[in-house]
Amino acid sequence: MNRSTKIRRVLTVLGAASALAVLAPTAAHAEPIGWGGTIPGGGSQCFSRYAGPSVYQVRVEGTATNMGARFRFLRNGSVLEATPTDRASSFNAERRGWAYPGGGTYTICAANHYATNTLVNLHVLFNTEFI
């Protein structure tokens, strides 16, 4: 195979690869619906989302490992619900229908009141993101 044939083959492969790259679908940019990570002893973490006029229901969900955590559900900084103890391994709350207070910033917080780390997952879901 001579040099010009090799060059043509390389250019053909590169051209095909670049054409496929242009046609390949890309991931849509989506707003995050949650947070997951480790909360050290004595620490806390919150996750918030803003509900605009098209939102008609909200749900928060949280899980924690080890000794658990105290969870709080807030709207615009005011607590709507909270776990009764510091040792909850899971929490969920929702507002829909007549109980939905309207748009605003919805937040779920987890506080680790123990010395050991805890792995926590927090979610704020709107409308069709939960059923």
Does any domain span residue 78? Answer: yes
Q: Do the strands 78-82 and 34-39 form a parallel or antiparallel pair, or are they unpaired?
A: unpaired
Cβ proximity of 88 and 18 under 8 Å: no
Separation in Å, CA 119 to CA 13, 64, 85: 47, 6, 17
Per-residue pLDDT tens over the stretch 75-107: 999 999 999 999 999 999 999 999 999 999 999
**Which has the higher per-residue pLDDT, 107 or 4?**
107
**What CA–CA distance (Å, rounded) separates 67 from 115?**
9
Separation in Å, CA 17 to CA 7, 8, 51, 96, 99: 15, 14, 42, 49, 54
Range(s) of the domain holding residue 80: 34-129
Query: For all residues of the chain together, what is the average pLDDT?
Result: 85
Number of domains forming the structure of the chain: 1
pLDDT greater than 50 at residue 14: no
Does any domain span residue 43? Answer: yes
Does any domain span residue 10? Answer: no
Q: Which amino acid is at 114?
A: Y
- Residue owning tokens 């098209």: 54
Does any domain span residue 25? Answer: no
DSSP for 16-57 reads HHHHHHHHS--PPP----EEEEEE-TT-EEEEEEEE-TT--E
CATH of the domain at 68: 2.60.120.380
Per-residue pLDDT tens over the stretch 18-45: 443 444 444 444 678 999 999 999 999 9
Does any domain span residue 19? Answer: no
Does any domain span residue 24? Answer: no
Identify the band that residue 7 occupies on the pLDDT scale cut at 50, 70 and 90: low
Does any domain span residue 12? Answer: no
Per cent of the chain over pLDDT 70 is 76
Q: What is the pLDDT of residue 111?
A: 98
